[in-house]
Structure 1
Amino acid sequence: MSVDYDWLTLDDDEEVVWSGQPSSESLYGAYLFGVPMILLFGLGIVVIASAYLRQQNTDYLITTNGVYKKTGIFSRAVTEIEFEKVQNTSFSVGAIGRYFGYGDVMISTAGGSGVEMTLRGVEDPQAVQKQLSRRVKRAQGETADAADGESKADVLDEILVELRAIRQSLDAGTGRGGDASADDRHP
């Protein structure tokens, strides 16, 4: 992606595969609450302005290695979760979000207490969650393969060798070389 994120430091082999912000439609609740407050108390401007600034100053990124969330109006907070640490991903869509096509994507980590990161108000949260889930599975599969030093084919080959050895020992135990009839096997 061509957008430059001055708050983000990527590894040499890491690339941004998805980026987003809270949907502008997610501000409708602030407008709905803020406009009457402008008329009644004058505080509605603060409600609307703070919701708008929060939305504009929040960025979400999925890279080839992890997921990032940047928040902050006057200061900046960046949270990163590497795919290897992700335990579960889910999404939720409220009634208004369902109508306007936005919702939340939640990420839980192994060893964490509940949801560690929430991408709030993203457009098409189901598609974002699916993409995130696929990347997590791919990363965790690569990690497991690298840790074991074996591929699935290697594991299946080992199982086949063990099964052949078991069959040979059973055949040797019957003394017939595997020619036992069905009647001989069952007393």
Structure 2
Amino acid sequence: MSPPSTADPRSDEFDWLTLDPDEEVVWSGIPHVLSIVPALVVGVPLSLILVGIPIVVSAYLGRKNTEYVLTTDALYKKRGILSRDVKRIGFEKVQDTSYTQDFLGTRFGYGTVEISTAGGAGVELSFDDVPDPKRVQELVNERIRARGRGDGETKSDVLSDVLAELRAIRAAVEADDGATDTAVAEAADTFDYPDSEE
């Protein structure tokens, strides 16, 4: 009898992904099957002269070798046919999300979800041609909100801290004004004014 396996079951499905012990996969996907239609439209007629075959094959392999993963901590994108390129963006860096759909995407229910980060130059990561991009964007936004609540500091806490700081500044200014008024009065009493009678 063989001992039970201690390997992470996620490692079989995502052999390219290394997750933290408490990190869980929330959503995963690949580009929509109909996203290769433009390559078919161009490639099939051109296949008569053998030029279209590489177009169709590269579109198919590109789709099959692209994966997107949304976890409790970050967004991951893996692509590459002969090599592998994996990109990760943690939710603490995400500043903005949006999604777009072209004509075919609107008709067949796929589109691109774009993620911008703080300090980044435009879109840093995109999930291209994913099914139901609106839902994927909602999942990303939910994880961002959940992460914001998870750090223990709410908007109310931040506002309370700001208010306490403002009160401390006001008290310091008022105390400084009282000391300044006393110093001015003492200086006025000891100052020897010249006679103005001439």
Band of TM-score, shorter chain: 0.7 to 0.9
Instruction: Note closer, same or farther for the CA distance 1:35–1:154 as it changes in structure 2 (3 Å cut).
Output: closer
Secondary structure class of the residue paired with 1:75? coil
Report the counterpart of residue 66 of structure 1 in structure 2: 74
Take 2:158 and 2:77, find their aligned partners in 1: how far apart are those partners? 39
How many residues align? The count is 158
Take 1:19 and 1:158, find their aligned partners in 2: how far apart are those partners? 40
Take 1:51 and 1:129, find their aligned partners in 2: how far apart are those partners? 25
The structure 2 residue matched to 1:98, chosen from 96, 106, 111, is 106
Is this contact kept in 2: 1:22–1:120, CA < 8 A? yes
TM-score scaled by structure 1? 0.76
Aligned identity (percent) is 45
Report the counterpart of residue 122 of structure 2 in structure 1: 114
Q: Which amino acid aligns with 2:144?
A: V
1:140 Cα deviation from its structure 2 partner: 3.0
The structure 2 residue matched to 1:13, chosen from 22, 29, 51, is 22
Instruction: Note closer, same or farther for the CA distance 1:97–1:158 as it changes in structure 2 (3 Å cut).
Output: closer
Take 1:102 and 1:49, find their aligned partners in 2: how far apart are those partners? 21
1:136 Cα deviation from its structure 2 partner: 1.2
Report the counterpart of residue 156 of structure 2 in structure 1: 152
Unaligned runs of 5+ in 2: 1-8, 168-198
Instruction: Note closer, same or farther for the CA distance 1:156–1:33 as it changes in structure 2 (3 Å cut).
Output: same
Report the counterpart of residue 194 of structure 2 in structure 1: none
Report the counterpart of residue 26 of structure 1 in structure 2: 35
Is this contact kept in 2: 1:34–1:43, CA < 8 A? yes
Unaligned runs of 5+ in 1: 164-187
TM-score scaled by structure 2? 0.72
Report the counterpart of residue 56 of structure 1 in structure 2: 64
Q: Which amino acid aligns with 2:25?
A: V
The structure 2 residue matched to 1:85, chosen from 83, 93, 109, is 93
Is this contact kept in 2: 1:101–1:123, CA < 8 A? yes
1:42 Cα deviation from its structure 2 partner: 1.3
Instruction: Note closer, same or farther for the CA distance 1:104–1:154 as it changes in structure 2 (3 Å cut).
Output: closer
Q: Which amino acid aligns with 1:46?
A: P
Coordinate RMSD, CA, aligned: 2.6
Take 1:103 and 1:35, find their aligned partners in 2: how far apart are those partners? 24
Secondary structure class of the residue paired with 1:84? coil
Take 1:58 and 1:44, find their aligned partners in 2: how far apart are those partners? 21
1:14 Cα deviation from its structure 2 partner: 0.2
Take 1:10 and 1:140, find their aligned partners in 2: how far apart are those partners? 20
1:134 Cα deviation from its structure 2 partner: 1.3
What aligned pairs does 1:119-130 form with structure 2 within 5 A after superposition? 119-130=127-138
Instruction: Note closer, same or farther for the CA distance 1:138–1:46 as it changes in structure 2 (3 Å cut).
Output: same
1:152 Cα deviation from its structure 2 partner: 3.3
Is this contact kept in 2: 1:83–1:140, CA < 8 A? no
Take 1:141 and 1:122, find their aligned partners in 2: how far apart are those partners? 28
Structure of higher CA gyration radius: 2
